[in-house]
Amino acid sequence: MEVAESCKEKNMLVHNKVRHLNLMSTHNDSFPVSIYNCKGLRTLIISTKKLPPLPSDSFSKLKSIRTLKLNKNSIKEVPESIGGLVHLQYLDLSQNWELKELPNSVGKLFNLETLRLIECFKLRELPVSLRKLVNLKHLYISGCTNLKVPKEIGRLRNLQILDFLYVQDGGEDDEGLFKLGDLGKLEQLQDGSEAKNAELVNKKKLLDLTLRFGENFVLDPGES
């Protein structure tokens, strides 16, 4: 469904039997589409230059969603109600350049398999609750240059793809952050003493690995 400038004064309703919906808008003022009656919605993709602030109860009625793509929408804040999407398997929040944090409620997305946060430049940290995402297989965070990744990511035993990771230097202030040695627990990952602790020899599915040492220590499993 394309929402044109001429539609912005209307309240457009989507039929409650719709299962897969791609909303596109070419204007910035408002998004006059009501989707919250679509309780059976499985896929929701929203593409607009600037999505208005999401209401706190945005997702409270959309509990059947499996795929949610909200990338490139200038989102500044994700409401806590996203934790109610218990069937969600794919979440894309990439290129929301003003997004600074994720709510702790994302830890309730037990069925989530893919989380994309590519080029969320202002994203500062991932919530510790991410350790509860036991089914997470793909985590994309390339371009998140200010991101602090908690040590608890090492508990994601089913993680297969970690496209990029800035590893901290091990100072006292970084005690709770992910280190190179924490890779030792990620046995399914496909992509000094700390290097030994990483147990790279046991990463049977690892295809590409680049280590860079400098002012910022960078681990980039996705670059050959």
**pLDDT band for position 223 (cuts 50, 70, 90):** very low
- By CB atoms closer than 10 A (0-12, 13-18, 19+), residue 17 is exposed
Question: With helix as H, strand as E and coil as C, how does 56-118 read?
Answer: CCCCCCCCCCCEEECCCCCCCCCCHHHHHCCCCCEEECCCCCCCCCCCHHHHHCCCCCEEECC
pLDDT in tens, 109-134: 999 999 999 999 999 988 889 989 99
* 3-state secondary structure at position 152: helix
Query: What tokens does 3 get?
Result: 């929402």
Range of the structural domain that residue 15 is part of: 2-220
Between residues 198 and 94, the one the model is more confident about: 94
How many domains does the structure of the chain reveal? 1
Which spans in the chain are helix H? 193-197
CATH number at residue 159: 3.80.10.10
Strand partners for 220 = 210
pTM for the structure as a whole: 0.79
